[in-house]
Amino acid sequence: MTEPNYLTADYTLRSWFFTTDHKRIAILYFASLTMFFFIGGAAATAMRIELATPQADLVSDDIYNRLFTMHGIIMVWFFLIPSIPNTLGNFIVPLMIGARDLAFPRLNLMSWYIFMLGGSVTLFAILAGGIDTGWTFYTPFATLYSNSYVMVAAAGVFIAGFSSILTGLNFIVTIHRLRAPGLTWYRLPLFLWSLYATSVILVLATPVLAITLVLIAVERFFGVGFFDPRIGGDPLLFQHLFWFYSHPAVYIMILPGMGVINELVSCFSRKQVFGYKFVAWASLAIAALGFLVWGHHMFVTGQSLLASLVFSFMSFVVAVPSAIKVFNWTATLHKGSLRFDAPMLYALAFIGLFTIGGLTGLFLACLAFDVHATDTYFVVAHFHYIMVGGMVTAYFGGLHYWWPKITGRLYSEYWARAAAILIFLGFNLTFFPQFVLGAEGMPRRYHVYPPEFQVWNVLSSGGATILAAAYLLPLFYLGYSVFFGARAPANPWDAPGLEWQTSSPPPEHNFDVQPVVTRAPYQYSRKFEAKPQNA
């Protein structure tokens, strides 16, 4: 019998719920996030069913408000933001840098408990009757008028924020201090650069959301506050503070996805990532510039034209580092020895969908067009191309890529490819029609609409059916693989990263011998003789 790995080291519940092993905590997050993903998805499904016809036939307007709010809050704070960092990041970061664990393992466990507490409080708000403010909690509706569980939901998000901060803190310190000997910054796999940039945003943006939610809670509780127009307060100040967090939060949601794509594209092209340093610094550039563009959510609020012009300009600027990445991935593919394994299908889908999402983001950065498209389905389609087409696709890509490492099992390549293709088709059918709807003027957040919009809505709802089924597929074939899949070798993709140089699944202590890094990452070769980063 071989030595026990991290999964077989102990079987008690206690060994799971009090573990400080980053790999087990990643699994705890994975299970929780899967649950939240399907809860948020259920709300979206109900909305798409309602929108199949122009009249209201499934839910009332009030219930519809609660559905899209629940969908937004759950998906943003309880799936997208923690998705890649807390599952794949938690698992892979210490392995990639050749460390035994994150810098603060107990803090890591505490962060999961805080996350679950925040999630439970939010779920309670939903079960108790829901929230009707939209995920944005705009004032004065959220503070003075809404008769729903705003306080409870805001408390849930506030609590979950601490989990974000602690995770970001842990990653920053870990990447600074726990790298293996020889692993210089420019030898780090790009996944780590992007997670580092993500963590900087988590640490610097989340507290602003926290204080903003405190201000909301004070105003709701005491009936008077900063955003109260009756005493000369400015509801727009709330929007400034909220988007100062929430726009960088968009980059929290996409940067880790970009990081995963680097790993996938280079592995399945058998080539180094083209322009490593540009891609690395592009992550940090996105993190920095992302803090300076929040006003593009407020072009129609009456903010000064000068401010709008500056925010519009900055929004164009922040697209540059994103474009650098897309061009560099394309250049990596160029003359590569391409393999179309399931993770690569997700990566290619990501590049296409992210490009559409990014380019339509530039439409919205244009003042004149944005005035036309504000609060229409064009915006909904745009950010779903980034969040779902981009981040969720990257999440699935990364999950498949590292699945053999995490579980020690191989999944069915046939079903994995089928799911990847179905997700791509279902996604486009769901969201592309929404661009058309938005351009034609259909506003978001309504459950009834004029009959001329029905064709596009039916297409979108039909696509959502395919998408929902496709998202359920991995649950089955990945679940099957855990119990019946073939045993995975240590390095099934012949990849050079440190995480592939230990057994699958890794032992509890990660590496039998401390790896010493002697090479830059991504030393792939066409003949399946990648040179490991350590000697």
DSSP H or E stretch at residue 23: helix 22-50
**Contact call for residue 233 and other proteins (CB under 8 A):** yes
Q: At what angle do helices 276-289 and 305-333 cross, to 10 degrees?
A: 160
Answer for which of 7, 35, 52, 169 binds other proteins (CB under 8 A) is 169
Rounded CA-CA distance 215/224 in Å is: 10
**Contact call for residue 339 and other proteins (CB under 8 A):** no
DSSP H or E stretch at residue 371: helix 367-373
Tokens representing 494 are 């012949």
Provide the CA 420 distance to its chain's centre, in angstroms: 17
Q: In terms of CB distance, is 203 or 482 closer to other proteins? A: 203
Minimum distance between the CB of residue 341 and other proteins, rounded to whole angstroms? 33
Q: In terms of CB distance, is 22 or 71 closer to other proteins? A: 22
**How many residues interact with other proteins (rule CB under 8 A)?**
45
The dihedral built from the CA positions of residue 220, 226, 232 and 234, taken in this order, carries a sign that is negative
Nearest in space to 23 (alpha carbons), one of 79, 96, 76: 96
**Contact call for residue 231 and other proteins (CB under 8 A):** yes
Minimum distance between the CB of residue 174 and other proteins, rounded to whole angstroms? 8
**Contact call for residue 3 and other proteins (CB under 8 A):** no
**Contact call for residue 104 and other proteins (CB under 8 A):** yes
Contacting other proteins within 199-228 (CB under 8 A): 203-208, 210-212, 214-215, 218, 221-226
Neighbours of 57 (CB within 10 A): 11
Minimum distance between the CB of residue 182 and other proteins, rounded to whole angstroms? 14
Tokens representing 490 are 């240590």
- CA atoms within 13 A of residue 82's CA, in its CB half-sphere: 40
Q: In terms of CB distance, is 70 or 81 closer to other proteins? A: 81
**Contact call for residue 176 and other proteins (CB under 8 A):** yes
Q: In terms of CB distance, is 100 or 417 closer to other proteins? A: 100
What DSSP character marks residue 443? B
Q: Which stretch binds other proteins (CB under 8 A): 131-139, 172-180, 382-390, 409-417?
A: 172-180
**Contact call for residue 509 and other proteins (CB under 8 A):** yes
**Contact call for residue 506 and other proteins (CB under 8 A):** no
Answer for which of 11, 13, 14, 232 binds other proteins (CB under 8 A) is 232
For residue 405, the one-letter residue type is: K
Rounded CA-CA distance 85/465 in Å is: 28
**Contact call for residue 288 and other proteins (CB under 8 A):** no
**Contact call for residue 326 and other proteins (CB under 8 A):** no
Minimum distance between the CB of residue 513 and other proteins, rounded to whole angstroms? 14
Nearest in space to 306 (alpha carbons), one of 320, 291, 295: 295
**Contact call for residue 172 and other proteins (CB under 8 A):** yes
Binding string, 106-125, against other proteins, x = CB under 8 A? -x------------------
Rounded CA-CA distance 176/178 in Å is: 6
Q: In terms of CB distance, is 177 or 334 closer to other proteins? A: 177
**Contact call for residue 103 and other proteins (CB under 8 A):** yes
Q: In terms of CB distance, is 173 or 359 closer to other proteins? A: 173
Q: In terms of CB distance, is 218 or 323 closer to other proteins? A: 218
**Contact call for residue 378 and other proteins (CB under 8 A):** no
Per DSSP, the three-state class of 104 is coil
Tokens representing 276 are 């490593």
Answer for which of 44, 102, 351, 498 binds other proteins (CB under 8 A) is 102
Answer for which of 99, 126, 273, 289 binds other proteins (CB under 8 A) is 99
Nearest in space to 92 (alpha carbons), one of 23, 178, 39: 23
**Contact call for residue 369 and other proteins (CB under 8 A):** no
**Contact call for residue 334 and other proteins (CB under 8 A):** no
Q: How far is CA 309 from CA 239, 241, 293, 366, 372, in A?
A: 18, 19, 11, 9, 16
Provide the CA 99 distance to its chain's centre, in angstroms: 25
Determine phi and psi for 487, rounding to 5 degrees: -65, 135
**Contact call for residue 492 and other proteins (CB under 8 A):** no
Rounded CA-CA distance 227/447 in Å is: 29
Residues in contact with other proteins by the rule CB under 8 A: 94, 99-105, 107, 165, 168-170, 172-173, 176-178, 203-208, 210-212, 214-215, 218, 221-226, 231-234, 237, 240-241, 244, 509
